Amino acid sequence: MTKIAVVTGAGGGMGLATVRRLARDGYRIAAIDRNTEELAQIVKDENIDASVRKVDASDEAQCRAAVADIHKEYGRIDVFVNLIGWTDSSRFVEEDSAYWHRLIGVNFLPVLHFSHAIAPIMIEQGGGTMLFVTSDAGKVGTSGEAVYAGLKGGVIAFAKSVAREWARYNINVNCTAPGPTDTPLEADQDPDLVARRLKVIPFRRMATPAEQAAAISFFVSEDASYVTGQVLSISGGLTMS
């Protein structure tokens, strides 16, 4: 039986790498993003077994409608991977609440919206796997990204909590915590900040999106069937905990 994977944030650097990796692993993919034109073209050009849906994941109604549509199309959902994330670099005391709410809508609400809609499907079918891509910022904090770090830390705590609740239903919930990765999001950061980060990474380079996707591939595979509530840093040794 071919497994069905829902991938949100599928159009980003890590998201697209994950779509490609999971397709290579044999999944049929429901790829979700706010910006779908380029994603749909890539899926078509590379003959990836995926359907593409445009969803504003900060909107609960849109998320629930997308999940219902995916369930109707495929009949099941075996894997949910959330890669949605965004931040800017700024000092907390100089930020305003509009910026905070934007961060909440991008970095926390999508996890709640999709998990709440998908979990009952997985429970009914007898199991499934969820993987939330967080950040090392959520484990150790980071200057210039205080609210983002707090939200990613919240996703980690949420994942551990539902991992305990849902283990009885054979649902695994884990997180990856990427360090600096060569994506458009990282390219938007202050170059001086990026340069300072690279100096303290033991490998002295950023991760590639494919390296992040490889860890996701492991966590959603049968090889990780006895792993739940865990957070793995993929950061070149930047965080060793």
Residue ranges of domains in the chain: 4-225
In whole numbers, what is the pLDDT of the chain averaged over residues? 94
Q: In sequence order, what are the residues at sequence separation of 6 or more whose Cβ sits closer than 8 angstroms to the Cβ of residue 55? A: 8, 32, 33, 34, 62, 63, 66
Please state the rounded mean pLDDT for residues 226-230.
Answer: 98
Number of separate helices (H) and strands (E) present in the chain? 10, 7
Q: Catalytic annotation on 226?
A: no
Q: How confident is the model at residue 145 (pLDDT cuts 50, 70, 90)?
A: very high
* pLDDT above 70: percentage of residues in the chain: 98
What pLDDT score was predicted for residue 186? 65
- With beta carbons less than 8 A apart as the criterion, state whether 64 and 117 touch: yes
**185 within 8 A of 12, measured Cβ to Cβ:** yes
Catalytic residue among 27, 74, 99, 148: 148
Quote the strand ranges of 34-178, DSSP E: 50-54, 79-82, 128-133, 171-178
Residue type, 233: S
**Is 70 exceeded by the pLDDT of residue 202?**
yes
Q: For 44-103, what is each residue's pLDDT tens digit?
A: 999 999 999 999 999 999 999 999 999 999 999 999 999 999 998 899 999 999 999 999
Higher-scoring residue by pLDDT: 182, 83: 83
CB 105 within 8 A of CB 87: no
Please report the pLDDT score of residue 185 as a whole number.
67
d(CA 35, CA 32): 9
- Report the pLDDT value the prediction gives residue 195, as an integer from 0 to 100: 78
Q: Which CATH class is domain 4-225?
A: alpha beta
Asked if residue 88 lies in contact with residue 146, where contact means CB atoms within 8 angstroms, the answer is no
Among the residue ranges 4-8, 97-101, 137-141, 195-199, the one predicted with the least confidence is 195-199
Q: What is the pTM of this model?
A: 0.94
What pLDDT is recorded for position 224?
98
Contacts with 103 (C-beta within 8 Å, 6 or more apart), sequence order: 86, 87, 147, 148, 151
Count of positions (residues) in the chain: 241
Residue 214: CB partners within 8 Å, gap ≥ 6?
21
pLDDT on residue 187: 64
DSSP codes of every residue in 157-194: HHHHHHHHHHGGGTEEEEEEEE-SBSSHHHHTS-HHHH
